[in-house]
Structure 1
């Protein structure tokens, strides 16, 4: 991003003031925001008052009033005028600033153009993306590994392109405890907030798989470019990878994974993460914190879209053969026999005041307490190994009865459309149905093998 000051045919005194303002904007805002603020100077250079300074109140208000279709230009010019006024610069007065504040703009509602319910990844696209992330990459292809890490990190934390660009090797940390078990943390740089002069970094936990990839990548980068190399993502010369190259590389990875949405790259993964969190019942404040938003406006939009998505999953995806195949293969672990499982690993629980057992086994260590509700959460957990002849039909019937009670209570309260427990039950019932079909297929295959 460059500014050619010679092309602005402005008063020389005003040029000097504008340069000081851009320096201030670069210190306070993100670079792209400061660059946008400088664009108002080109609009000013095209006006009738380009060579005049100081301006009269009438001619300045008349000029800025003609920009009503360019809301950002008016906002940035007000900011510029207020900045100069606060510093007591000659040619700027309070009465003119108040007159500028009275100029109306064609205001858009926040996030009016966002159609969040269709901006994330479809279920089959997510499966293809995970396969792309989990593929094995030879140790000699460090560039390919680097972009695989960017894709993986985009799926887990959904940073903006500028956040990828700003990451340093020192932002990556890990802690090793007993039994050589490691926990990985990434100090993710946040976009500059209003009033902040330094970039804030917040700790984000990442999976062991991603942490191991980053460890290998750092070792290779330091081997190639020396121990003093600071950026986490680098180009072939060891310099910090640019935002443009990050965007192009991420777009290539998405296309290779079969996700063909050319106009959405990092924002696609951000919308997918935000909507996924909302679908799981995450509060708007937590979604805003994870995504690094200044407010909960966008997060509330994700939450608002959730009931519609739940109904679509129930009515459309639940009857779709591809969706059923994916659910059968991904929601739980492998199917096992009851006789091959120790009693301590068996799962038991209560649904709709009914005790239910003999449904499967948990792969967690015997003395580990699962943080989720048994039975309810098992059918969407990879640690759950369903019994081939388990009482899954009993679970489904109990969930359906409990869901009906939620429907009855919601209808009585007049809040059926936004009943999150009901939406969660519908998803769980679909998962149980998929497990039943998968177990039936498993038993039929076993009979065929026996014959």
Structure 2
């Protein structure tokens, strides 16, 4: 008999769950699903007889316990699970929904099984009055979808749209923290992350002893900070997805990574997301790769050697919180939101943001534009004129020195350069020396922990005025330059110069 075409009704002389289970086909001997994290097909053996079913999502095993449920209710939930897997819902979504299984009792399942399109409204109102989590209501809707699939008690696939529109879920604003700005790292905190990655490279070049864990943590942090990648995308990055090659232009190799977007709406396969590592930070990946090869790791193994996306998330948040000294801010998601807002504030359009974030549709990132500064505010930010963007924290530098102390330093330690055609000298000294520093002089010195600024407020005010002239030149010549790396570096340099000036003013009080 074809249960998909013949409508079945619930009679009053027998329990609805018993009747529903009677018309459901036997569960298959094995339920199969794709494990994206380990790139393998997994099976759930004998689901009909198992009281506890395990499901692996992103490297973590979760357990769905049916042992305390009535036999018929457990059978219906197992059919819902099978239905989800057949329709290729991601294992992580399934785990999320079934984690709310305890919120729906057997009586709830019975009431849903007894419902029809004309009576579900009252039942749904009673359920909504209990203020369950959204996942519990989604799970209840999947039971109704099962009833539609088997044309039970007046339900049919014609009611799919009805289920989506007529049965409301609790209101949930998943971007509430973005709108409030609670997830964004400050410029000071971003600077600390950049300095940590810079220091890691310096330690590698100085042949300091860096453990594998420290090196891998830095690599994962880089992926989250520079590329806004999710923990699962970072975790599944394979050795074959890391390309390193040398060219004749620079002594530092170029490193390209190929991440993959998870299955998106309307797409049947994962979309490759190629990214190039900032050249100054390339040694982090070069060293990780060299150590993996030395350990005999194969190309099909994970680059960061992690067991789950939860491990990636935990290690990134732990590292960031130690760096920025925070108890809550600093998750990989916070870094992702911060990177998106940073790109939008720099003037990126919708298509550029969607490409950067790996979004399938451009409207997914609209929230970042509603919270973004206007064009005029971006200019003010670059000029350091907007109080909203003024830095309040003291920037890291070695110590202030006098002009006399500056003159006694070696010539290589006395900072001088011609940034954007403007000659600047005498701003301070460098512990390492300019020849040993891979970064641009002047623009990269302010904020560096090895920078020894002279205690001359007027000199730094003069440099600040010169930097502002360059910003105004960028603005008047081309709006497109506002999102260039050079322009964004000027923003940070101006804010760091202001911090030095403010510190000198405080010292005089």
State TM-score, norm by structure 2: 0.59
SS at match of 2:256: strand
User: Quick check: 2:111–2:123 contact (8 Å CA) kept in 1?
Assistant: no
Q: Does 1:201 align with 2:272?
A: yes
Q: 1: distance between equivalents of 2:210 and 2:395?
A: 37
Residue deviations 1:128-181 (CA, integer Å, cap 9, x gap): 222322332645611221112111222211211121222211111234333566
SS at match of 2:304: coil
C-alpha deviation, 1:220, in angstroms: 2.2
Q: 2: distance between equivalents of 1:163 and 1:325?
A: 35
Q: 2: distance between equivalents of 1:5 and 1:76?
A: 15
Q: 1: distance between equivalents of 2:391 and 2:109?
A: 65
Q: 2: distance between equivalents of 1:99 and 1:429?
A: 51
Equivalent residues in 2 for 1:51-130 (5 A)? Answer: 53=113, 55-57=115-117, 60-68=120-128, 69=131, 70-78=133-141, 81-82=144-145, 85=148, 88=150, 92-94=155-157, 97=160, 100=163, 101-108=165-172, 111-115=175-179, 117-130=181-194
Q: 1: distance between equivalents of 2:396 and 2:185?
A: 17
- Name the counterpart of 2:227: 157
- Name the counterpart of 2:73: 11
Q: 2: distance between equivalents of 1:400 and 1:171?
A: 38
C-alpha deviation, 1:260, in angstroms: 0.6
User: Quick check: 1:274–1:291 contact (8 Å CA) kept in 2?
Assistant: yes
Q: 1: distance between equivalents of 2:147 and 2:236?
A: 31
Match of 1:37 among 81, 94, 97: 97
Q: Number of paired residues?
A: 378
- Name the counterpart of 2:213: 143
Residue deviations 1:109-134 (CA, integer Å, cap 9, x gap): 56234345343222322222223223
Equivalent residues in 2 for 1:306-317 (5 A)? Answer: 306-307=372-373, 310=378, 314-316=385-387
Q: 1: distance between equivalents of 2:255 and 2:489?
A: 31
- Name the counterpart of 2:240: 170
Q: Does 1:232 align with 2:295?
A: no
User: Quick check: 1:119–1:272 contact (8 Å CA) kept in 2?
Assistant: yes
C-alpha deviation, 1:187, in angstroms: 1.0
Higher relative helix content:
1
SS at match of 1:307: coil
| Unaligned segments of structure 2, at least 5 residues | 1-61, 401-411, 426-439, 446-458, 502-509
Residue deviations 1:306-364 (CA, integer Å, cap 9, x gap): 327756753436585836979x9xxxx997668xxxxxx8855xxxxxxxx6569xxxx
SS at match of 2:295: helix
State TM-score, norm by structure 1: 0.66
| Unaligned segments of structure 1, at least 5 residues | 235-239, 339-344, 349-356, 361-376, 383-387, 407-419, 440-451
Structure 1 residues 194, 302: CA separation in 2 closer, same or farther (over 3 Å shift)?
closer
